[in-house]
Amino acid sequence: MPSLSENKVVAQLVLWSLHLARGSLGAVSRVLRYDYWKNRKYLFLTITIAYAAMIFYLSSRSDIAVPTHLFKIPIMYAIKDFLEDAGIYFVTDLVKFAYAHKDKVAHMFLYFGLGVFLHMTFSSSDNSVMRRYAAPFAFIVGILYGISDEIHQSYVPGRTSSVADLFANGLGLMLAQVILLGLILWGLHERKKRKHQD
C-alpha cells in the first residue's frame, strides 16, 4: 500500500498538471478571442520586425547560398522549350539573366517581402501622415535598412556588400509599393463601380 507521502506527491503532481492545463486553455482562449484586426498595427509591426530579423540572420551567415537545383527540374526545361517554340524569348532571356544573378534575385524577393510588410505596418499606423504616405515611408525605411544590411554584410567573413545588392533591394521595395498601390487603386475603382451599380 502506498505511503501517505507518496500519495501527497502524486496529488501535488496532479494538481500542478491541472493548473498547467487550466492556464494553457486560458491562454488558447485569449488567443482565439483576440481581435487581430483591431490591433493589426501591433500584428504587422511584429511580423515586420521578425522578417527584418530573418534578413539580418541570413546576412550574417557566410555559408548561405541560393539554391540552384530549382532550375534543374525537368519541367523547367519543358517550360523553356515551350516558351521558345512559342516565340516568347524575352521570358527565357529574363530567366537566364535571373539564373546568372541568383543572389540579386534573392535580394529582390527578400526586400519585396519587407516592402509589403513595411507598407502594411505604416498603413495601419495611428499616425495619419504615415497612413497616407505608407508607400514612400516603406520605401525609405526599407532602403535605410538595406544600407545598414549591406554595411553589416561587409563585416561578415565570406560576404561582401555591393551597390548592386542595394539596387536589387531597392527594386524589390519599389516593386512591392507599385503592386500594393495598384491593388489599392483597383480596389477603390471596383468599390466605386459597385456603388454606381447599386
In order, the DSSP letters of 68-134 are -GGGGSHHHHHHHHHHHHTT-HHHHHHHHHHHHTHHHHHHHHHHHHHHHHHHHHHHT-S-HHHHHTH
- The whole-number pLDDT of residue 67 equals 61
- The whole-number pLDDT of residue 23 equals 81
Helix (H, G, I), strand (E, B) or coil at 180: helix
- The whole-number pLDDT of residue 54 equals 94
Q: pTM for this structure?
A: 0.71
Tell me the C-alpha distance between 137 and 131, whole Å. Answer: 9
Model pLDDT for residues 63-88, shown as the tens digit of each residue:
766 566 655 666 667 777 787 888 87
- The whole-number pLDDT of residue 134 equals 94
- The whole-number pLDDT of residue 122 equals 95
Q: Which residues of the chain have pLDDT under 50?
A: none
- The whole-number pLDDT of residue 7 equals 67
Helix (H, G, I), strand (E, B) or coil at 156: coil
DSSP at 22: H
- The whole-number pLDDT of residue 112 equals 94
- The whole-number pLDDT of residue 159 equals 83
Tell me the C-alpha distance between 174 and 180, whole Å. Answer: 10
- The whole-number pLDDT of residue 69 equals 60
- The whole-number pLDDT of residue 92 equals 73
